[in-house]
Amino acid sequence: MIITISHLKKFYQTHQKEPGFLGSLTSLIHRKYQTVSAVNDISFDIKEGELVGFIGPNGAGKTTTLKCLSGLLYPTSGFVSVLGFTPFERKHAFLKQIALVMGQKNQLWWDLPAQETFLLNKEIYEIPDEQYQKTLSELVELLDVESLLKVQVRKLSLGERMKMELIAALIHSPRVLFLDEPTIGLDVVMQKKMRDFIASYNQLHKSTILLTSHYMEDVRQLAQRVIIIDHGKILYDGKLDNLVKKFAKYKVLSVVLDTYVAPDKFKEIGELTDYNFPKAIIRVSRGASNVAAAQLLEKFPVDDLNIEEPDIEDIIRDVFTKAEK
Amino acid sequence: MWFLLSLLNPLLVLLFWRGAFESSASPLGDWSYNAIASYYLLLVIAGSFLQVHVEEDIARRDIQSGFLSHYLTKPFSYILRKFFQELPWRIIQGFFGVLVLILFSFFLKNGLFLSHDLIGIIASIIIVVLAFFISFLFKMIVGISALWITEFYGLQELIGIIDIVFAGFVMPLALFPPFIRTLSYILPFAYMIYFPILSFLGKLSSVELLQTIGIQFVWLAVFGIIYRMMWRRGIKKFTGLGQ
Amino acid sequence: MKQYLRVYRVYAKMSLEALFAYRANFINSFISSVAWGVFSFVSIFLLTSKTSSIYGWKREEIILLTCGYQIMIGIFHTLFSKNFGYMAEVIEYAQLDGFLLKPIDSQFVMSMRWVNYTSISRIFLGIIFLLYIMQNFSIGLDPFIIGIFFLLLLVGLLLLYSIWFTVATVLIWLPRLSNIIELMFNVSGMTRYPGELYKHASEYLFFFLLPITLVVATPVKFLFRRTSIIDISELFAFSIIFFLLSRKFWKFALRYYTSASS
């Protein structure tokens, strides 16, 4: 096990501040403190080379967990071990083997070409010249940024900047990579490129990658294993397919009709969730999906019929709402 | 906080002069310790009331951010608007200065060294008012120069430092070595700060009072003309740039 | 150790490049730096023109004190000032996280990331005046003495840095402090004043008082062979103690930072 978390808890004290000038004054004198439990007893293990998706809504505890794993936060209680080290001790030998990339924060120096920041990191991580050149050219090729190396960072577009951030973060070839919301703020094309890159990087280097996201596409395309977290607790930990099978008790029949059929006629097949002639979407229980499909074809003027898995977003939403109850 | 710091300067220097007075009876000629202490305390008020700071505003907001065009569309004269914008701040600051003065005058052994002559006091008030206008006009000129000079901040610091030396913030101009002393009487800075203080200290004879007022009028006229010229040329340039 | 030297070389290079990226700023700071440097000398010259002795210090000794001060301030500004200026920002906007993730000492990064080249002019001014005064007042230009003088200046610099850093570390607990100050400034209308003036005003307060009294005095006294072993050992002791204190305090502050931030 390269990453082990056992009964991790992280609580914060926050205080309420009343708005306005009077509020500022009173907050100086008397503060009401509240305990927020960002992470409330989670445990999981990750093996070397795994690519794990860590999903949950905003405020679920994803970023907090990543910060605990990378040493930026000191846990309230529980056991954390990464590569055999205790992260919050921030030993240099540990830091040289990990990388944390957070969407908004950047480490590139604004007024200088990205290349300068790479050189800086080379010295900070004590990367030998040969290895540096090799890693750099590999990453540059993979991300296709050869022509941008000497351009000032502030002149780059958001997508280009993200690529440079990645190179800066990966130049020391970390064994463990933490990615916090890597596709946030990017356009659709860039998102795909980012996902492809992450997948290839994982394949090539067998590095362990833990990424957080609240986009389903990220998860669907990348994660072999998925951990769902909400309100600081783990709701599911396992393969994506199993998630679908376990939580999605239904399948979706998507139909294109030839002639109009009254909505209530579909009741005998299953639950009609969406009807926009000529298209209709019907939910049927998983086991009965084939029978239902056959019935549809027999009794209704069907032009086209598809049996689909339900949308992961819907599944996960269901999981969350179940958890709330 | 700036205010407290402008207070610290005179206090420190006074400590320095104390040392001088300890080693010899009257190192500063006809300036007693009391006189020089009063001088520095009056500097506090002078610094807060008579030191105008419009140039920063003009350079940053109006010229560089283009706010000036907002003023140009209004029917009021730019310089008048700036004047009335600045005046309240000066008064508030001056008020604090007076408070500080009263507070610290209790610590002076022989009380504050001030002029008691009524005519002298009236003349002093005139000199102060004139000094304010000179200071204001001068800063307006410095501010507008941002229309031509890109390295404005360097220039501003430079002028600021020359001001500190030649307006008497370091020490009374009368105590300067002869050559520098003469130079300081030729430059306008002394008439913004130094002479107002001297007149309140009662160190100017009636003749000298009249002389001071005369020279102040001369500087007012000079700055007025310079400002006019720069304003005309400057506006052409500014509106020409299409800001 | 080698790692730190190499990293610092990169920092120095990057600061130099950033300097050339902003031409106008460079000229402004340079004029500013030289002007204030010259001002220090002019004012001390004027103040001592009337008297030959103050608290037992002769005129040339006081002027030399100013030279020592200029050199020390020059080095301090070149190496550290900009970084102290950014410290509040780094803490408030959690850029500190980025530093903590790197296998390099965070105090080092916080203190030395930026090099301010324009302040080198102050160092030169100080040295030039130093040599001029020593020539004029025929104080022996014995290289050994001058060497020790600079060594003592550096030790004093360490002390000054340590005090500054320790005080600045408090920002970890109070990033709000700058907001409160901002509020008070707004209320009293102080924000009318240019930011640069604040910088010089606080320089006056923290650099004039502290170093002159604690730090520059000893090296200058040494130059006049009026210093004692006690003075020198005091300086060394204080420097080392405060430096270690600054490190301990910083590590302590980081514990708080990593426990409390989100």
Tens-place pLDDT, residues C30-89: 888 888 888 888 888 888 887 777 776 777 777 887 888 788 888 988 999 888 878 877
Closest residue in C to A120 (Cα–Cα): C10
In angstroms, how far is CA C65 from the centroid of its own chain? 16
Lowest-confidence segment of B73-77, B175-179, C155-159, C242-246 by average pLDDT: B73-77
Domain-terminating residue out of A244, A261, A294 = A244
- B180 contact residues in C (CB cutoff 8 A): 46
B225 pLDDT exceeds 60? yes
Neighbours of chain C (3+ CB pairs under 8 A): A, B
Q: Of all residues in chain C, what percent carry a pLDDT higher than 90?
A: 18
Domain ranges of chain C: 2-260
Residue type, B19: G
C10–A13: do the CB atoms touch at under 8 Å? no
Q: Which of chain B's residues have a Cβ under 8 Å away from the Cβ of C66?
A: none
At C205, the pLDDT band (50, 70, 90 cuts) reads low
* Residue of C252 and B93 predicted with greater confidence: C252
CA distance C157 to chain A (A): 26
Give the pLDDT score at C197.
Answer: 44
**A266-293 mean pLDDT:** 83
Residue C198 has pLDDT above 50, yes or no: no
Together in a domain, A179 and A291: no
Q: How confident is the model at residue A231 (pLDDT cuts 50, 70, 90)?
A: confident
Contacts of C204 in chain B (CB under 8 A): 5, 8-9
pLDDT at position C95 is 84
**Contact call for B and A: 3+ CB–CB distances under 8 Å:** no
Does some domain include residue A40?
no
Segment (H or E) for B137: helix B118-144
Confidence of residue C109 (pLDDT cuts 50, 70, 90): very high
* Cβ neighbours of B1 in C, within 8 Å: 181, 185, 190, 198, 201
> Does the beta-carbon distance from C103 to A109 stay under 8 Å?
no
Give the mean model confidence (pLDDT) for residues A13-27. Answer: 65
Minimum mean pLDDT among B95-99, B234-238, C203-207: which range? Answer: C203-207
Residues of B in contact with C208 (CB under 8 A): 12
Whether pLDDT at B4 is above 70: no
The answer to whether C186 faces chain B, any CB pair under 8 Å, is no
* A54 vs A18 pLDDT, higher one: A54
Q: Is the pLDDT reported for residue A128 higher than 90?
A: yes
Q: Which of C11, C13, C258 sits opposite A74 (nearest CB)?
A: C258
Q: What is the pLDDT of residue C60?
A: 77
The whole-number pLDDT of residue A100 equals 92
When pLDDT is averaged across residues B92-99 and rounded to a whole number, the result is: 82
* pLDDT single digits (tens) B37-53: 888 888 888 888 888 88
C29: pLDDT strictly greater than 60: yes
Does the pLDDT of residue B169 top 80, yes or no?
A: yes
Closest by CA to A150, choosing from A179, A188, A112, A122, is A112
- Is A104 in the same domain as A236? yes
Pairwise CB contact (< 8 Å): C204 & B27: no
Q: Which of A88, A90, A109 sits opposite C14 (nearest CB)?
A: A109
Q: Chain C residues with CB inside 8 Å of B35's CB?
A: none
Task: For C159-224, give the secondary structure using H, E and C.
Answer: HHHHHHHHHHHHHHCCCCHHHHHHHHHHHHCHHHCCHHHHHHHHHHHHHHHHHHHHHHHHHHHHHC
Which among A228, A244, A260 is the end of a domain?
A: A244
Check whether B1 has a pLDDT greater than 50: no
- CB spacing of A95 vs C261 below 8 angstroms: no
Identify the pLDDT of residue A17: 62
Query: Which CATH number characterizes residue A100's domain?
Result: 3.40.50.300
Q: Provide mean pLDDT across the span A115-124.
A: 93
pLDDT confidence of C191, banded at 50, 70, 90?
very low
| Gap between the Cα atoms of C252 and C229, Å rounded | 34
Q: Using CB atoms, which residue from C29, C30, C49 is nearest to B177? A: C49
- Is residue A209 located within the same domain as residue A73? yes
Mean pLDDT rounded to a whole number for chain B: 82
pLDDT exceeds 90 at position A99: yes
Pairs across A and C, CB distance < 8 A? 75
Residue A18 lies in a domain: no
- Give A152's contacts in chain C (Cβ within 8 Å): 21
| One domain for residues A181 and A49 | yes
Looking at CA atoms only, how far is residue A264 from chain C in angstroms?
Answer: 52
| pLDDT at residue A173, rounded to an integer | 93
pLDDT for the residue numbered B112: 64
Beta bridge mates, A77: A9
* This prediction's pTM: 0.76
**A208 and A76 share one domain:** yes
Q: What is the pLDDT of residues C117-164, one digit of tens each?
A: 988 998 998 888 888 887 777 766 677 877 888 888 888 889 888 888
Q: Do C259 and A105 touch (CB under 8 A)?
A: no
* Statement: residue B231 has pLDDT above 90: no
Local structure of A112: helix, strand or coil: coil
In this complex, which of C24, C28, C201 lies closest to B2 when CB atoms are compared? C201
- In chain C, pLDDT over 70 holds for what percent of residues? 80
For residue B144, count CB atoms less than 10 angstroms from its CB and return exposed for 0-12, middle for 13-18, buried for 19 or more. Answer: buried
The mean pLDDT of chain A is 84
Write out chain C residues lying below 8 Å of A95, CB-based.
101-103
The partner residue sitting opposite C39, judged by closest CB among B5, B165, B175, is B165
Closest-CA residue of chain C to B60: C194
Q: Contacts of residue B3 in chain C, CB cutoff 8 Å?
A: 190
DSSP for A122-171, please give it. HHHTT--HHHHHHHHHHHHHHHT-GGGTTSBGGGS-HHHHHHHHHHHHHT
Supply the pLDDT for residue C188: 45
Q: End of a domain among A189, A219, A244?
A: A244
> What average pLDDT does this structure show over B159-172?
88
Same domain, A192 and A294: no
Of C244, C226, C216, the C-alpha closest to C157 is C216
Q: Pairing relation of β-strands A225-230 and C57-58?
A: unpaired
CA-nearest residue of chain C to B6?
A: C201
Best of A9, A29, A101, A111 to substitute, by most chain C Cβ atoms within 10 angstroms, is A111
Structural domains of chain A, count? 2
Q: What is the pLDDT of residues A133-151, one digit of tens each?
A: 999 999 998 888 888 888 8
Q: Is C186 on the interface with A (CB under 8 A)?
A: no
**Contact (CB<8Å) C21/A111:** yes
Residue A25 maps to a domain? no
pLDDT at A4 over 60: yes
Cβ-Cβ pairs closer than 8 A, B with C, add up to 104
Inter-chain CB proximity B158 and C35 less than 8 Å: yes
Cα separation of B47 and B170, whole Å? Answer: 12
Nearest to A116 among C3, C14, C97 (CB): C14
**Which residues, at least 6 apart from B209, have a Cβ–Cβ distance to it below 8 Å?**
B120, B123, B124, B127, B199
Report the CATH number at residue A304: 3.30.70
Q: How much is the pLDDT for C5? A: 93
- What's the pLDDT band for A22 if we cut at 50, 70, 90? low
- What is the nearest CA distance from C189 to chain B, expressed in angstroms? 8
Q: What is the mean pLDDT of chain C?
A: 79
Domain that holds residue A268: 249-308
Question: Which subunits count as partners of chain B given 3+ CB pairs below 8 Å?
Answer: C
pLDDT in tens, A27-84: 666 666 778 888 888 999 999 999 999 888 777 788 889 999 999 998 888 999 999 9
> Is the model more confident about B56 or about C248?
C248
Least confident interval from C124-133, C187-196, C236-245:
C187-196
Closest residue in C to A25 (Cα–Cα): C180
Query: Is A12 close to C262, i.e. CB distance below 8 A?
Result: yes
Higher pLDDT, A47 or B96: A47
Interchain CB contact of C260 with A (< 8 Å): yes
Confidence of residue C195 (pLDDT cuts 50, 70, 90): very low
Lowest pLDDT segment from A248-257, B223-232, C214-223: C214-223
Which residue segment(s) compose the domain that B142 sits in? 2-240
Please give the tally of structural domains in chain B: 1
Partner B contacted by C185 (CB < 8 A): yes
User: C105 CA to chain B: closest CA distance, Å?
Assistant: 34
Going by beta carbons, is chain C in contact with chain B, meaning 3 or more pairs sit under 8 Å apart?
yes
Q: Is A130 exposed, middle or buried (0-12, 13-18, 19+ CB in 10 A)?
A: exposed
Task: Say yes or no: A135 and A273 in one domain.
Answer: no
At CB < 8 Å, which residues of chain A contact C? 12-13, 24, 28, 38, 64, 67, 70-74, 88, 90, 92-93, 95-96, 98-100, 105, 107, 109, 111-112, 116, 119-120, 123-126, 152
Output the pLDDT for position C203: 53
Task: Name the residue among C32, C193, C204 with its Cβ closest to that of B154.
Answer: C32
What's residue C187's pLDDT?
45
What pLDDT shows up at residue A276? 84
